Copies of this chain bind each other. A is one copy, B any other.
Amino acid sequence: MDSRSALPAGKDVRNHLSEAGIYPTSQRQALAGILFNRHQHLTADQVYERARREGIKVSRATVYNTLNLFVDKGLLREIFVNASHTFYDSNVHPHFHFYNIDDGQLTDMEGRVADDLIMQNLPQGTVLDGVDVVVRVRNHS
Contact = CB atoms under 8 A, between A and B. Distances in A.
Contact of A139 (B118, B125, B135, B139): B125
Contacts of A117: 111
A100 B66 CA distance: 23
Nearest to A137: B126
Interface residues of A, number: 37
Secondary structure of the A side of the interface?
strand
A136 interface: yes
A3 interface: no
Interface of A: 78, 80-83, 86, 96, 98, 100-101, 105, 107, 109-111, 113, 117-118, 121-123, 125-140
Contacts of A86: 83
Given A80-B80, A111-B117, A132 B134 contact: yes
20 contacts: A83-B86, A100-B126, A105-B123, A111-B113, A113-B135, A122-B137, A126-B137, A126-B139, A127-B139, A128-B137, A129-B136, A129-B137, A129-B138, A131-B133, A131-B134, A131-B135, A132-B133, A132-B134, A132-B135, A132-B136
